[in-house]
Amino acid sequence: MTEGQFRIRDLELVVALHEEGNMTQAAKRLGMSEPALSKQLRQIERRIQTSLFERGNGGVVTTGSGRAFVAHATESVQAFRRAVHEAQESKHNAPHRLHIGVSTCHPPNLIEILCAVELRLYKSLSVEIVTAYSFELIGKLQHHELDLAIITSPPPNALITSACFATNPFMIVFREGHPLSGKASVKLHELGPYPWVFFNRNIHHHMHDLILQRIRAECEPAGVFHSVSQEEHAVALLTDNRVLAWLTPTGVERAVHSGFKSIPLDDSQIRLEMHLATLASNKSPLVCKPVVPLPGI
């Protein structure tokens, strides 16, 4: 086979594996089996006569050659998806639709605000809202499924342009008899001695890993007693006066009731930053130039 026989699907595979760093997760994202992914990757590497990934027990690591390949593969995949999207819109003469993703960490009133925004220059525009975890929204941006996304603390990504417009602390919640209950705020190292109810890694793997790396570096490793996907479950698991839970401010408003106390985490690196994000390559005037500010944020 020659270089000219590469398909978009081949490029999508390489990009997905680079971004996921894991064969199982990449296969799930692509909707294929892991053996099929491995076979296709071997065929790709044979065509270009170089190794793109190094395999190990912990996953896969992109090689130097792989990083060079991924940079151009990503551009090609993005260009193809944008071309398909614009061709379909032109074919059906469809009205403008602005697809906006919102992280599940954000308050419900944010969705109400987005739906109430009037874009006077685009009378035929309809706004469609998608809620998901932050890493899922980033993937949807890159797949041209979203035009904009309001994401919590996105990791660095050369393909994504974002601007932070609000910052909130994590809230630490515990029973009123907890040893930390007399404090107005708390430092990260002060949480080390206590068991945690912590959020699942799939909610925000970048922040999840950062917190655990920091706590290991600063004191004894934290004892993650429970891992949860829904903040309402976290409070139910605070069964004694030593366990503490990590919640967002929205989660505190929704889930915390009498008998519990919440205090902010005082840490300059571990914060909930609200970012307005889009693809760096998105040149749409709907996205590049804000028409109106979002009130009440």
Q: Is residue 265 part of a domain?
A: yes
User: Does pLDDT of 241 surpass 80?
Assistant: yes
Q: Which residue has the higher pLDDT, 103 or 287?
A: 103
> Are the C-beta atoms of residues 280 and 154 closer than 8 Å to each other?
no
Of 128-137, 211-220, 264-273, give the range with the top mean pLDDT. Answer: 264-273
For the CA atoms of the chain, what is the radius of gyration? 22
Residues 118, 265, single domain; the answer is: no
Side-chain half-sphere CA neighbours of 87 within 13 A: 6
Q: What is the DSSP letter of 56?
A: E
Burial track 123-153 (b if 16+ CB lie within 10 A, e otherwise):
eeeebeeeebbbbbbbbbbbebbbbbbbbbb
Look at residues 58, 88, 118 and tell me which one is the last residue of a structural domain.
88
Q: How many CB atoms lie within 10 A of CB 61?
A: 12
CA 232, CA 240: separation in Å to the nearest integer? 17
Q: Is residue 212 part of a domain?
A: yes
Q: Is residue 294 part of a domain?
A: no
Residues 205, 234, single domain; the answer is: yes
Res. 183 pLDDT band, cuts 50 70 90: very high
Lowest mean per-residue pLDDT among 1-15, 52-66, 127-141:
1-15
Identify residue 93 by its one-letter amino acid code. Answer: N
Look at residues 88, 119, 134 and tell me which one is the last residue of a structural domain.
88
Structural domain that includes position 78: 3-88
Residues 186, 216, single domain; the answer is: yes
> What is the DSSP annotation of 96-120?
PEEEEEEETTS-HHHHHHHHH---T
Residues 128, 201, single domain; the answer is: no
Q: Is residue 61 part of a domain?
A: yes
**Per-residue pLDDT, 96:** 65
CA 96, CA 98: separation in Å to the nearest integer? 7
- CB < 8 Å & 24+ apart, contacts of 64-73: 66/14, 66/18, 67/18, 69/14, 70/14, 70/15, 70/18, 73/11, 73/14, 73/15
CATH of the domain at 129: 3.40.190.10
Look at residues 72, 88, 104 and tell me which one is the last residue of a structural domain.
88
**Per-residue pLDDT, 52:** 93
Q: Where are the beta strands (DSSP E) in 28-87?
A: 53-56, 59-62
User: Does pLDDT of 175 surpass 90?
Assistant: yes
Residues 218, 152, single domain; the answer is: no
**Per-residue pLDDT, 76:** 86
Q: Is residue 158 part of a domain?
A: yes
Residues 152, 281, single domain; the answer is: yes
Res. 290 pLDDT band, cuts 50 70 90: very low
Residues 227, 256, single domain; the answer is: yes
Number of domains forming the structure of the chain: 3
Mean local confidence (pLDDT), 128-140: 88
Residues 117, 187, single domain; the answer is: no
> Are the C-beta atoms of residues 14 and 73 closer than 8 Å to each other?
yes
β-bridge mates for residue 257, sequence order: none
**Per-residue pLDDT, 294:** 45
Residues 16, 142, single domain; the answer is: no
CATH of the domain at 80: 1.10.10.10
**Per-residue pLDDT, 135:** 86
CATH of the domain at 263: 3.40.190.290
Identify residue 281 by its one-letter amino acid code. Answer: S
Task: Report the SS3 class of residue 164.
Answer: strand
Closest C-alpha to 145, from 158, 130, 167: 130
Q: Is residue 296 part of a domain?
A: no
Residues 106, 231, single domain; the answer is: no
Residues 144, 186, single domain; the answer is: no
Residues 69, 215, single domain; the answer is: no
Q: Which residue has the higher pLDDT, 67 or 221?
A: 67
User: Does pLDDT of 4 surpass 90?
Assistant: no
User: Does pLDDT of 188 surpass 80?
Assistant: yes
Q: Is residue 295 part of a domain?
A: no
CA 29, CA 7: separation in Å to the nearest integer? 18
Q: Where are the beta strands (DSSP E) in the chain?
A: 53-56, 59-62, 97-103, 126-132, 148-152, 160-169, 171-175, 195-199, 223-228, 244-247, 260-264, 271-279
Q: Is residue 293 part of a domain?
A: no
User: Does pLDDT of 91 surpass 70?
Assistant: no
